[in-house]
């Protein structure tokens, strides 16, 4: 089984995905163990000498002016967890919980949190054995981090919460954490001074969503270009709009890369070539002509998000932070979720635009007046409705995305008696972006469904018009990359010669979009896409 060594500084977004989705294991680097030990020793020294430290020898939030007696310090930390485990809503998906766990371990591995090594190792063992806390999805305002969700995570660590057994598998079930931990030879953690606070101050829930969303968005950018290329070929669109000379005059990197992908995907297309001499259109509609500009802008936005998330996953974001070399504790605000909140709002907008333009291509494909193809991509229209309602579904998801793209980060509501008077709402932004991502995947799946059907009809029309076109002939091939994608798609979803349950086809197409088979097939044929 694949494993990664965590040191708090070198974790990557693809590694988080491998740990969260593919069950890769994690271990701590020896230098991280030493750093954890050094900061913990300092906490013990300060407690022994009665130093005043926020959340260690004082209360929390508005109660920061209340001094806690030495014999109550451990109880203070347990009370913190119990009182903050106040979430609501559906439980988070197992992949999100696993991402949260590795992110929390990695933050602690930096050695600025004052936690015991044994506590970190318990969390690590739970992750490696797939003992996942049941964590409700709602309740975070994203300021002191995702306090509520992280409290539920710690609740499982101390034996007072619930966990999934065999999470993500068919025989998954929920049980009390104390019994499950003991069954696996793990003792529930008895929190010491500072440990509860060290475990729940941080942005790990919003960053878990952000990490997995950023990872999948990078692939989705390639998928969007592939779907668009099939649509252009099915609609016999012009390829002049993708000429490099145009994009060199407006050299946004995303735009140039999207145009390059379109050229490479359609390179060698005889189907496109067969219509070039007889095509009287001077230029295509925006949803075809402006693919590089629209996809490219989203590409640049996703790259920005990817960069910010890559910083957050290797950051110390709890409070107070312990600087062992300087023998000082500093109270600050690294837990505040504003960087991730803004990034997730930007991601939602960028992904929503991919779906917006995709739905317009879907409309052109199913609208016989615009496409020159059979209406709703069915040969016997009237008796069959073809792909008419698939466009309805895409339109519905696009409209939902317009609501979800409203930024959560512009909102704030005070908490803790106005002590925490500006909150990021990053958890809301992250979960909205995740939902937008899922919607966009479905819209692109529908575009591929329509585009491949349209490509089949375009080939058929080419054969029927063979006597009138010197370029026409039986089964003219599309571009090299387009054909590679089409072949993978048709292995799972055959041509629709009569009406059938579209839900089944859309779900199969969604699996292809969410997976890697189409992108991999294309890249094997034409090389890695930009």
The predicted-structure confidence for 350-399, as pLDDT tens digits, reads as follows: 999 999 999 999 999 999 999 999 999 999 999 999 999 999 999 999 99
The reply to whether 119 and 188 lie within a common domain is yes
| CATH number, position 414 | 1.20.200.10
Q: Is the pLDDT of residue 275 over 70?
A: no
Q: Is residue 321 part of a domain?
A: no
Closest CA to 255 of 306, 295, 305: 295
The residue among 202, 221, 252 that closes a domain is 202
Q: Is residue 432 part of a domain?
A: yes
The reply to whether 186 and 286 lie within a common domain is no
Give 279 or 163, the one with higher predicted confidence.
Answer: 163
Q: Is the pLDDT of residue 127 over 50?
A: yes
Give the rounded distance of the alpha carbon of 224 from its chain centre.
16
The reply to whether 253 and 302 lie within a common domain is yes
The reply to whether 260 and 283 lie within a common domain is yes
Known catalytic residue: 54? Answer: yes
- ∠ CA 149-155-158, rounded to 5°: 150
The predicted-structure confidence for 407-455, as pLDDT tens digits, reads as follows: 999 988 887 777 777 888 889 999 999 999 999 999 999 999 999 999 9
Count of domains for the chain: 2
The reply to whether 174 and 234 lie within a common domain is no
The reply to whether 228 and 182 lie within a common domain is no
The reply to whether 289 and 186 lie within a common domain is no
What pLDDT score was predicted for residue 277?
A: 53
Catalytic-labelled residue, pool 4, 37, 54, 286: 54
Q: Span 152-156, mean pLDDT?
A: 98
Give the rounded distance of the alpha carbon of 201 from its chain centre.
22
* Contact (Cβ atoms closer than 8 angstroms) between residue 417 and residue 193: no
**Strand 328-330 relative to strand 88-91: parallel, antiparallel, unpaired?**
unpaired
What pLDDT score was predicted for residue 161?
A: 95
Q: Is residue 307 part of a domain?
A: yes
The reply to whether 86 and 227 lie within a common domain is no
DSSP string, 33-66: HHHHHHHHHHHHHHHHTT---TTTTB-SGGGTTS
The reply to whether 152 and 215 lie within a common domain is no
What b-and-e string marks burial along 475-508, b requiring 16 or more CB atoms within 10 Å of the CB?
Answer: ebebbbbbbbbbebbeeebeebeeeeebeebbee
Q: Is residue 177 part of a domain?
A: yes
Q: Is residue 521 part of a domain?
A: yes
Percentage of the chain modeled with pLDDT above 90:
79
Phi and psi, residue 304, nearest 5°: -60, -45
The predicted-structure confidence for 281-303, as pLDDT tens digits, reads as follows: 668 999 999 999 999 999 999 99
pLDDT band at 467 (very low <50, low <70, confident <90, very high): very low
Name the residue range of residue 66's domain: 3-202
The residue among 157, 173, 202 that closes a domain is 202
pLDDT band at 472 (very low <50, low <70, confident <90, very high): very low
Burial class (CB in 10 A: 0-12, 13-18, 19+), 18: middle
Q: Is residue 385 part of a domain?
A: yes
Q: Is residue 369 part of a domain?
A: yes
Q: Is the pLDDT of residue 111 over 60?
A: yes
The reply to whether 157 and 188 lie within a common domain is yes
The reply to whether 152 and 275 lie within a common domain is no
| Coil vs helix vs strand at 184 | coil
| HSE (side-chain half, CA atoms, 13 Å) at 463 | 9
The predicted-structure confidence for 176-235, as pLDDT tens digits, reads as follows: 999 999 999 999 999 999 999 999 999 999 999 999 999 999 999 999 999 999 999 999
What pLDDT score was predicted for residue 460?
A: 85
* Contact (Cβ atoms closer than 8 angstroms) between residue 221 and residue 298: yes
pLDDT band at 468 (very low <50, low <70, confident <90, very high): very low
| CATH number, position 177 | 1.10.275.10
Q: Is the pLDDT of residue 321 over 70?
A: yes
- Looking at every residue in the chain, the average pLDDT score rounds to 93
Q: Is the pLDDT of residue 469 over 90?
A: no
The reply to whether 155 and 260 lie within a common domain is no
Q: Is residue 328 part of a domain?
A: no
The residue among 169, 202, 235 that closes a domain is 202
């Amino acid at each position: 089984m694949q494993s990664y060594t965590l040191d708090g500084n070198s974790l990557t977004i693809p590694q988080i995905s491998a740990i969260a989705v593919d069950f890769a294991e994690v271990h701590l680097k020896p230098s991280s163990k030493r750093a954890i030990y050094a900061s913990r020793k300092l906490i013990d020294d300060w407690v022994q000498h009665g130093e005043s430290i926020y959340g260690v020898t004082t209360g929390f939030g508005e109660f920061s002016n209340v001094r806690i007696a030495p014999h109550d310090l451990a109880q203070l930390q347990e009370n913190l967890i119990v009182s903050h485990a106040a979430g609501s809503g559906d439980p988070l998906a197992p992949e999100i919980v696993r991402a949260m766990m590795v992110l929390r371990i990695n933050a602690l591995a930096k050695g600025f949190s004052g936690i015991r090594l044994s506590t970190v190792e318990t969390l690590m063992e739970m992750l490696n054995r797939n003992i996942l806390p049941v964590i409700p999805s709602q309740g975070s305002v994203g300021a002191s981090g995702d306090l509520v969700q992280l409290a539920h995570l710690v609740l499982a660590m101390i034996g007072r919460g619930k966990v999934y057994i065999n999470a993500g598998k068919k025989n998954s079930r929920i049980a009390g954490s104390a019994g499950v931990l003991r069954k696996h030879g793990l003792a529930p953690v008895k929190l010491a001074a500072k440990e509860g606070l060290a475990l729940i101050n941080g942005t790990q829930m919003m960053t878990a969503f952000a990490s997995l969303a950023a990872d999948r968005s990078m692939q989705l950018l390639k998928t969007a270009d592939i779907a668009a290329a099939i649509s252009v070929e099915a609609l016999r669109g012009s390829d002049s709009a993708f000429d490099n000379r145009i994009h060199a005059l407006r050299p946004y990197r995303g735009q140039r890369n999207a145009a390059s992908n379109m050229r490479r995907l359609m390179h060698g297309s005889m189907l496109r070539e067969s219509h070039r001499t007889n095509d009287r259109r001077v230029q295509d509609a925006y949803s075809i002509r402006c693919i590089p500009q629209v996809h490219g802008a989203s590409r640049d936005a996703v790259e920005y998000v990817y960069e910010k998330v890559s910083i957050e996953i290797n950051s110390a974001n709890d409070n107070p932070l312990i600087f062992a070399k300087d023998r000082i504790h500093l109270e600050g605000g690294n837990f505040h979720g504003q960087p991730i909140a803004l990034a997730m709002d930007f991601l939602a907008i960028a992904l929503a635009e991919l779906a917006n333009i995709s739905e317009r291509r879907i409309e052109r494909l199913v609208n016989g007046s615009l496409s020159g193809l059979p209406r709703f991509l069915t040969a016997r229209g009237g008796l069959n409705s073809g792909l008419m309602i698939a466009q309805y579904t895409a339109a519905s998801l696009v409209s939902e995305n317009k609501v979800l793209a409203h930024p959560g980060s512009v909102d704030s509501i005070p908490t803790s008696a106005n002590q925490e008077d500006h909150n990021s709402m990053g958890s809301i932004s992250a979960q909205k972006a995740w939902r937008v991502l899922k919607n966009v995947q479905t819209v692109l799946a529908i575009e591929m469904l329509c585009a491949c059907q349209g490509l089949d009809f375009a080939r058929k029309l080419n054969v029927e018009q063979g006597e009138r076109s010197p370029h026409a002939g039986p089964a003219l091939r599309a571009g090299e990359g387009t054909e590679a994608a089409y072949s993978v798609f048709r292995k799972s979803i055959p041509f629709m010669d009569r009406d059938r349950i579209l839900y089944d086809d859309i779900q199969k197409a969604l699996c292809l979009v969410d997976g890697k088979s189409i992108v991999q097939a294309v890249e094997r044929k034409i090389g890695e896409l930009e």
